[in-house]
Amino acid sequence: MSPSEPELDLSQCDREPIHLLGGIQPHGVLLAFRGPERTLAVVSANTQELLGRPPEALLGLPLAQVLPPDMLLQLDAASAQGFARVELQGRAFRALLHASDGLTVLELEPAESEPHAEEHALEWVGRLVSPLPGARGTQALLQAAAEAVRALTGFDRVMVYRFDADWHGEVLAESRREGVDGFLGLHFPASDIPAQARALYTRNPLRLIADARAAPVPLVPFMLPELRRPLDLSGAALRSVSPVHLEYLRNMGVVASFSLSLLQEGALWGLIACHHHAPLHVSHERRRACEVLTRLLTLQLAAEERAAEATEHTRRSALLGRLATQLEQRSSLAEALPRHAVLVLELTGATGAALLLGEQPLLVGTTPPAAEVEALATWLAAQPFETVFQTERLGALFPPLAPRADVAAGLLAVRLEPAAPRFALWFRPELPRTVTWGGDPQKPVSAEPAGARLHPRASFHAWEETVRGASRPWARADLEAAEDFRGALVGVVLRQAEELTRLTRALARSNAELDAFAYTVAHDLKEPLRGIQVYADILQEEHGGALGEEGQRELEFLKWLAQRSGAQLEALFEYSRLGRLELSWGLEDMQRLVEEVLGMLTARLAEGRVEVRIPRRLPQVHCDGVRIRQVWANLLSNAAKYQQGEERWIEVGFHGPGEPRPEAASRYEAPYVFHVRDPGIGIPEQFHEAIFELFRRLHPERAYGGGTGAGLAIARRLVRLHGGELWVDSAPGKGSTFYFTLGRRAG
């Protein structure tokens, strides 16, 4: 704004005291009196014409000296109702009574144009409301109302106007005489109907301006001496019109206007606004008939809205029900959510969703990247809302996501835990939409030089604006669905947690049972096995000759079976004990552990002519030395066992922190990955997991020396007890590499 232009203060409109203008429209007369004497305290300046006396001559007189006695009787009879038909000097008037500023205000409006209005009033109401029940849907209802009001009042144009949350308004229905400009579909900025005008519309639902060109009649006295301001005319039918509003009407080419407030639960929902291009007086009875219409209309609108909401609610509940059942059937949300993405999104009519439960965000549909969603959650956690948060312009509130309007202009969030970044989030993309304003909304008023009165804008030509950066707004049903989802989710998570404790307990029990079983078996079966072995030895020594060659071989086999069963029992016993094992952590030198194991294997290595390579010294790590030595022993003895061909070696090595890792080890973040490599017989891929099962052997025992098939199962269990992992990378004929990592010391 350039310095030569005076600052334009739009709130000035909001401050104009439109109920204290101290004047009335000239088509009627106002008399305000107080006390049992009904002493006149304020009158309109136009009394001469009607009552034959100037205002000064009336003030201070009791009403009884001003109005004829029969008229006073009529007024008394009408005081409960608030209005009456009266006769004054042979003319018919409509008398309206209300209280204001401690005075009783009597307004007299000419009624001669419609002498039998009262008899017709009911018929008019009937005519007005009869189309309503037949209209289906909000649009049809509003249209029917606009047409009925125009038919009854004769205005050139009748519009139904609805306010949005920002008090901008949109013309939703319109009925107009041919040749009159249409405003249907146009938006009007909130400043067109400033705050105090809306407050008046809420208090006094009817407003007639019979002739916008006629000069207002001032009140006498202009100020109430005790209040030092004009009489409050909020409740007066004749209240004069603010100069700003008159100019607004003139700019639109409107001479007479009539507006009816549409109130829902006491709040202004919209207006029925009527315009005429010539002066037009609408009788009190017709105005009241219109008022009855607006009441029925708003009731029916509310009923329609409730019905639509109920239908929507049922649909969402069904969706939620399906979703909840699906989520409960899966063991983890991480697995279940992506499978049911369609339901999750349909629930709130979103295109993307995220669930933040403290780990990696679970994302479905189209969302910003995980890191940005996490940043958003951190920001949301600090926002002061209870459970549900929604915006259609996220970028304006949280600028880091402004560039993501194409996926996340709209955000609907439910808090899952107070003060923690745990949320269910839904996203909607930007929806560029065109709003047609009745004139440029940025310029609702023009400024006059040097602080003069405001002028409402002179142009009502449609002006189009493309609104960017905003998503389709979230409806109440969306918010409710989000909140209900929260409830369902809490249920699912709780039930899953219960299930998990139950499983863990069951698992703990089965470990304990396995241990107990193993102990019993070891104890109970060891003796008979021992017995079989002893018996076989005796048989062999004492009756060996009698058994013959065949018998000898069978006896050997029996002894071998007994011995192998014994070894398996030992292994089972050992394996089952690991469940209860307490590791004893310490800083262990891996080089030393490996050398100790190799020391024990010297004979076998020499026999198999297997060369051992350790390209660089192994590091020191935190672990339970005894148990990890057992792991090395198993891997090294296997590597020695399953050699083949001419090339016979074992390589022991590791990858340290920050060193590039072979692909098989790249997904582990532990500081060290150790390995034992051999160029031996190798293992087909489909057995890479099977070899870690208890008693699982791939090769005939006799071909490769003894072994129970429990070694790798025990080794893996030991490594996992350390928080690490043991796995193999191998192919037949290409040798095998066993890798293992160790986690950090727990606690």
- Which residues in this chain contact ligand ADP in the complex, by CB under 6 A? 634, 638-639, 642, 678, 680-683, 691, 696-699, 707-713, 736
What is the rounded CA–CA span in Å between residue 209 and residue 280?
Answer: 8
> What are the backbone dihedrals phi and psi of residue 510, each rounded to the nearest 5 degrees, phi first?
-70, -30
Instruction: Tell me, letter by letter, the H, E, C secondary structure of 214-258.
Output: CCCEEEECCCECCCCECCCCCCCCCECCCHHHHHHHHHCCCCEEE
> What are the backbone dihedrals phi and psi of residue 473, each rounded to the nearest 5 degrees, phi first?
-65, 155
C-beta closer to ligand ADP: residue 580 or 702? 702
| Min dist. Cβ of residue 566 to ligand ADP (A) | 15
C-beta closer to ligand ADP: residue 351 or 568? 568
Cis before 194? omega within 30? no
C-beta closer to ligand ADP: residue 347 or 710? 710
C-beta closer to ligand ADP: residue 161 or 642? 642
C-beta closer to ligand ADP: residue 210 or 610? 610
Nearest to 179 by CA among 157, 160, 158, 161: 157
What is the rounded CA–CA span in Å between residue 389 and residue 512?
Answer: 49
| Min dist. Cβ of residue 565 to ligand ADP (A) | 15
Instruction: Please enumerate in sequence order all residues whose Cβ is within 8 A of that of 667, keeping only pairs 6 or more positions apart, or say none.
Output: none
Instruction: Give residue 307's identity as a one-letter amino acid code.
Output: A
| Min dist. Cβ of residue 728 to ligand ADP (A) | 8
| Min dist. Cβ of residue 717 to ligand ADP (A) | 11
| Min dist. Cβ of residue 710 to ligand ADP (A) | 6
C-beta closer to ligand ADP: residue 132 or 691? 691
C-beta closer to ligand ADP: residue 142 or 713? 713
C-beta closer to ligand ADP: residue 559 or 699? 699
C-beta closer to ligand ADP: residue 46 or 638? 638
How large is the angle between the packed helices 590-607 and 625-641, nearest 10 degrees?
Answer: 30
| Min dist. Cβ of residue 567 to ligand ADP (A) | 9
What is the rounded CA–CA span in Å between residue 231 and residue 99?
Answer: 11
b/e 722-746 (16+ beta carbons within 10 angstroms → b): bebbbbbbbeeeebbbbbbbbbeee
C-beta closer to ligand ADP: residue 95 or 726? 726
| Min dist. Cβ of residue 708 to ligand ADP (A) | 5
Rounded to whole angstroms, what are the CA distances from 74 to 34, 79, 81, 736? Answer: 19, 9, 12, 114
C-beta closer to ligand ADP: residue 257 or 634? 634
C-beta closer to ligand ADP: residue 6 or 706? 706
Burial tier of 606 (Cβ tally within 10 Å: 0-12, 13-18, 19+)? exposed
Tell me the residue nearest to ligand ADP as measured from the CB: 707
| Min dist. Cβ of residue 652 to ligand ADP (A) | 13
What is the rounded CA–CA span in Å between residue 573 and residue 522?
Answer: 7
C-beta closer to ligand ADP: residue 126 or 706? 706
C-beta closer to ligand ADP: residue 60 or 645? 645
What is the rounded CA–CA span in Å between residue 127 and residue 296?
Answer: 13
Residue 150, Cβ neighbours under 10 Å: how many? 20
| Min dist. Cβ of residue 644 to ligand ADP (A) | 9
Nearest to 235 by CA among 104, 99, 76, 33: 99
C-beta closer to ligand ADP: residue 601 or 681? 681
| Min dist. Cβ of residue 600 to ligand ADP (A) | 16
| Min dist. Cβ of residue 639 to ligand ADP (A) | 5
DSSP secondary structure letter of residue 620? E
CB 219 within 8 A of CB 23: yes
Locate 246 and state its tokens.
Answer: 């008159």
What is the rounded CA–CA span in Å between residue 146 and residue 137?
Answer: 15
| Signed CA dihedral, 54, 56, 57, 58: sign only | positive
Nearest to 437 by CA among 183, 159, 251: 183
Locate 143 and state its tokens.
Answer: 């249209």
| Min dist. Cβ of residue 559 to ligand ADP (A) | 20
| Dihedral-angle region of residue 631 (phi above 0 means left; psi in -120 to 50 means alpha; beta otherwise) | alpha
What is the rounded CA–CA span in Å between residue 279 and residue 261?
Answer: 21
Locate 370 and state its tokens.
Answer: 């995980």
Instruction: Give residue 651's identity as a one-letter amino acid code.
Output: E
| Min dist. Cβ of residue 412 to ligand ADP (A) | 54
CB 85 within 8 A of CB 121: no
| Min dist. Cβ of residue 701 to ligand ADP (A) | 7
Q: Where would I find the H helices in 65-134?
A: 69-78, 117-129
| Min dist. Cβ of residue 727 to ligand ADP (A) | 12
C-beta closer to ligand ADP: residue 127 or 699? 699
C-beta closer to ligand ADP: residue 697 or 745? 697
Residue 703, Cβ neighbours under 10 Å: how many? 9
| Min dist. Cβ of residue 406 to ligand ADP (A) | 54
What is the rounded CA–CA span in Å between residue 100 and residue 50?
Answer: 23
C-beta closer to ligand ADP: residue 249 or 713? 713
Q: Which segments within 519-599 are labelled E, that is strand?
A: 586-589
What is the rounded CA–CA span in Å between residue 260 and residue 280?
Answer: 16
Instruction: Please enumerate in sequence order all residues whose Cβ is within 8 A of that of 477, keeping only pairs 6 or more positions apart, or say none.
Output: 309, 312, 313, 316
| Min dist. Cβ of residue 681 to ligand ADP (A) | 5
| Min dist. Cβ of residue 560 to ligand ADP (A) | 15
